[in-house]
Structure 1
Amino acid sequence: MPRTAATTADSDQTDIAQAQHRILTVLVTAQILSGAGLAAGITVGALLAQEMLGSTSLAGLPSGLFTAGSALAAVAVGRISQASGRRPGLAAGYLTGAIGSLGVIAAAVLDNPILLFIALFVYGAGTATNLQARYAGADLATASHRGRAVSTVLVATTLGGIVGPNLAAPTGALAHTLGIPYLAGPFLLAALAYALAALVLAVWLRPDPLLLARTLERGTEPAATPAAEIASTDDPGKGVMVGGLVMALTQLVMVAVMTMTPVHLHDHGHGTAAAGLVIAVHVGAMYLPSPLTGWLVDRCGRLPVAVASGVTLSAAGVLAAAAPGDSVVVLALALALLGVGWNLGLVAGTAIITDTVPLMTRAKTQGTVDVSIAIAGATGGMGSGLMVAATSYPTLALAGGVLALAIVPIAALTSRPRNP
């Protein structure tokens, strides 16, 4: 019996759905591995710098180097993906992160601070690649399922992020046995995790989601996105601006408040266990709500969820500012709201970018947008310490809450119907 056009179309859709399922499975596996590498290194980066330099004055430098390295890597991964596909772009990014991890170990063995700083910069490529992978999950997803595809990739980072820090002590003991400084141990895990993530993507991320999406686009008329509230659907530049602003603002506010919360707790007599608990709650809230966020983005629209992000971050800032210094519970709740607000903004902003940027320039544009996110994070991290030193933690938290509200008019103006 001859196949009708409808039968052929149904078969093609089934093939695409199967390819998307395979791609998401591979991306989730790589994200779990890279999450372990990312968290393990960040856990001891500042401590290693402090030990090697014999001073706390530059202990915050590793965070800045991670961020600077991730900004440069975001551009590189985006350009490689643009030219050759997601598979080589993401694999190269994770392999670079693995090389940076090995460089940190070498610096620790040689007790060479200069090499340490260079290696930490290179190590930042893993951070950028971990974030860029969310775009690969959305390449083949239909517009009505993009939020959920992005969230599936994001939530996978949680498992690795939980496992990584808990392996700091065992990997430190292993490093000591091998004659490597104890604090360099987690970078053994980071090197292995990033290398395995690169291998998984290089071998199994087939078909390449971006290249297949381009092939499919050539054979079909572009479908209208159901996210009709995005006024920039026919104006990619406006869509990039809106999505980028939403993600940059959420990143700046989140990093600023998060960075100084452990210091605030310490100043009020709490130990590292209390700070660790609050940050663990925060990190969990950053990633665990992703499936629900993705569903909301697809069901309710990108811009309403972006507005919810600004309101949630504002509530987090107000609660953190009002929290008694001796109340770990209230600060943990504030940091949980901070994480949820960040998640809402990241998933909504990612969907806006993916909706509005043409496939032929999508990867390059996404890499550029992630640079702005990295710069916003660096600004929030470095500026938060200066602001607390000049004023106070409650002032910082309140200022972050006010700044987050800027997302509301951005989304409201964008969704306003235009005159014909």
Structure 2
Amino acid sequence: MGLVAGYLACLLGSLLCVFAGAESSLILLTVGMVFVGAGLAATWQARFAAIDLADERYRGRAVSVVMWATAAGAAAGPAVAGPAGAVAEMLGLPRLTGGFLVAALGALAAAIWVALGMRTDPLLLARQFNPTRSPSPRQHRSALAVVRAHPQAAYGILAIASAHAAMLAVMVIAPLQMERDHNGLEMIGAVIGLHIAGMYALSPLVGWCTDRAGPRVVTLTGAVMMLTGVVTIWASPPLLALFATGLFLIGLGWSCVMIGTSTAITTALPLDERPAVQGLSDLVMGGVGGVAGAVAGVVVGRWGFQPLSIAEATTLGITVLAALAIQRRNTHFS
């Protein structure tokens, strides 16, 4: 039901944004975007729902399937922007509200699909197969208490938070840097599309590698890959081919860290203690990423792009250290 609630909140937020566009209200748009963000939160949490009933040998692949499905939405969104704008104008609405109409339909479809297709919650079903007795609600510990008791989960959260911060910082600034280097909108869109492809398109392969080599190896590989991408971008301007290569490496490295840490966090925790920590993981990841995106603009505005690259490399150093702290093979819980 948590996923359904997230998608319904996104539906409400999307409709608020459409109304805000019709009324030219910045306040309504801001409120609506907060609710739209709930849809993204539900999408992130869906990867954990995929793990609940997955065999421990295939948890990485279970996460990767959800990540791969996200690629379809990421590719389809920009493609329908034009037709959606035309539909909005036919309805007497501003053209730019068309995207929110699509988001509303997508959120409604997702909510119905999850509500009908997951009528028995995977977590509740997994508890039925769990041979250990579930604790009573009064015995449930807070997410922070669980993390303190299971350091492996803490390492996973630290790794994905630092990697996500580095990825968002460069993703926010990259289009502006490319425009500064006199690249057209079409080329900027193509390069960002390549970055997004790196984030999602190879997810099944990353999931397979996670199941074969373990989350520690894949997370560490992703961190090193992101570091390589940051160095490539730092050395590239104004060479567009190197810049695009660096962004692709950052996207693919982020995919490795995301799938590796999601598997590591789940594997490190008993079944009944997973949801709270999984939510905490995404809260920290999103919060740190938002701050990084905002700070990136200030850094580039005052000191330029290269100091930002140095800051990203330092942040990814934290990812490397956290990945090294993850056990080669975590203790498996049912």
2:69 maps to 1:156: yes
Aligned pair partner of 1:332 in 244, 268, 278: 244
Q: Which residue of 2 aligns with 1:299?
A: 212
Tell me the TM-score normalized by structure 2: 0.91
In the TM superposition, what are the counterparts of 1:40-79 in structure 2 within 5 Å? Answer: none
Decide which moves more: 263-272 or 170-179. Answer: 263-272
Which residue is 1:321 aligned to? 234
- Tell me, yes or no, if the aligned pair for 1:317 and 1:399 is still in contact at 8 Å: no
Contact 2:148–2:154 (CA under 8 A) maintained in structure 1: no
Distance in 1, Cα, partners of 2:163 & 2:324: 17
CA RMSD of superposed structures (Å): 2.0
Counterpart among 88, 107, 131 of residue 218 in structure 1: 131
State the alpha-carbon separation in 1 of the partners of residues 152 and 321 from structure 2: 15
Q: Which residue of 1 aligns with 2:143?
A: none
Does 1:172 pair with 2:85?
Answer: yes
Q: Distance in 2 between matches of 1:130 and 1:215?
A: 25
Measure, in 1, the Cα distance between the counterparts of 2:127 and 2:248.
39
Structure 1: how far apart are the matches of 2:70 and 2:328? 35
2:282 maps to what in 1? 370
Q: Write the mapping of 1:238-249 to structure 2, written as runs, cut at 5 A.
A: 238-249=151-162
How many pairs align? Answer: 318
Question: Partners in 2 of 1:169 and 1:412 — Cα distance?
Answer: 46
| Residue type of the alignment partner of 2:286 | A
Please state whether the residue corresponding to 1:218 is helix, strand or coil. Answer: coil
Q: Return the alpha-carbon distance in structure 1 between the equivalents of residues 150 and 288 of structure 2.
A: 20
Structure 1 residues 264-305: Cα deviation after superposition (integer angstroms, max 9, x where no partner): 011111121121111100011100111111111111111111
Q: Is the 8 A contact 2:219 2:323 kept in 1?
A: yes
2:315 maps to which residue? 403
Give me the whole-angstrom Cα distance separating, in 2, the residues matched to 1:174 and 1:320.
39
Q: Is residue 105–residue 187 contact of structure 1 (8 Å, CA) maintained in 2? A: yes
In the TM superposition, residue 140 of structure 1 has moved relative to its aligned partner by 0.8
Offset of 1:402 from its aligned partner? Answer: 3.3
* Contact 2:156-2:326 within 8 A present in 1 as well: no
Deviations along 1:376-419, whole A, 9 cap, x unmatched? 110210011111112111221233123212222223244499xx
The match for 1:145 is 58
| CA drift at 1:220 | 9.1
Query: Structure 1 residues 414 and 174 mapped into 2: Cα distance closer, same or farther (>3 Å)?
Result: closer
Query: C-alpha offsets along residues 324-363 of structure 1, whole Å, 9 cap, x if unaligned?
Result: 22x2221111100010110010001101110112211211
Which residue in 1 is equivalent to 2:137?
Answer: none
Deviation per CA, 1:305-338, whole angstroms, max 9, x where unpaired?
A: 111111111101000000022x222111110001
Tell me which residue corresponds to 1:19.
none
Correspondence for 2:262 among 331, 343, 350 = 350
**Equivalent in the alignment of 1:128:** 41
- Equivalent residue number for residue 62 of structure 1: none
Q: Is the 8 A contact 2:10 2:36 kept in 1?
A: yes
Q: Which of 150, 165, 175 is the equivalent residue of 1:252?
A: 165
Partner Cα distance (1:408, 1:378) in 2? 21
Q: Secondary structure at the match of 1:405?
A: helix
Q: Which runs of 4+ in 1 moved over 3 A?
A: 218-221, 413-417
Q: Which amino acid is 1:404 matched to?
A: L
Does 2:118 match 1:205? yes
Distance in structure 2 (CA, Å) of the matches to 1:379 and 1:250: 13
| Shift in alpha-carbon separation, 1:168–1:248, aligned structure 2, 3 A | same
Go from structure 1 to structure 2 and tell me whether the alpha carbon gap of 1:384 and 1:184 turns closer, same or farther (over 3 Å shift): same
Residue identity in the other structure for 1:115:
L
TM-score for both structures, normalised by structure 1:
0.73
Partner of 1:279: 192
* Residue 283 to residue 360, structure 1, CA distance change in 2 (3 Å): same
How does 1:256-271 map onto structure 2 within 5 Å?
256-271=169-184
Distance in 2, Cα, partners of 1:153 & 1:220 = 30
Give the deviation of 1:110 after TM superposition: 1.1
Q: 2:296 aligns with which of 357, 360, 384?
A: 384
Matched with 2:24 is 111
Q: CA deviation at 1:368?
A: 1.3
For 1:70-98, what per-residue CA distance to the aligned partner results, in whole angstroms no more than 9, with x for missing partners?
xxxxxxxxxxxxxxxxxx11011011101
2:245, 2:233 → 1: CA distance? Answer: 8
SS at match of 1:285: helix
Distance 2:328 2:64 in 1: 27
Mean Cα displacement is larger for which, 392-401 or 138-147? 392-401
> Is this contact kept in 2: 1:251–1:342, CA < 8 A?
yes
Aligned to 1:179, the other structure's residue is in SS state coil
Q: Which amino acid aligns with 1:407?
A: T
How far did 1:246 drift? 1.0
Of residues 76, 79, 90, the one that matches 2:3 is: 90
Provide the identity percentage: 36
- Preserved CA contact (<8 Å) 1:247 1:345: yes
**1:148 Cα offset (Å):** 0.6
Query: In structure 2, what is the Cα distance between the partners aligned to 1:403 and 1:104?
Result: 35
Corresponding residue for 1:191? 104
Deviations 1:190-247 (A, max 9, x none): 00001000000001114321111111003699xxxxxxxxxxxx98530221110111
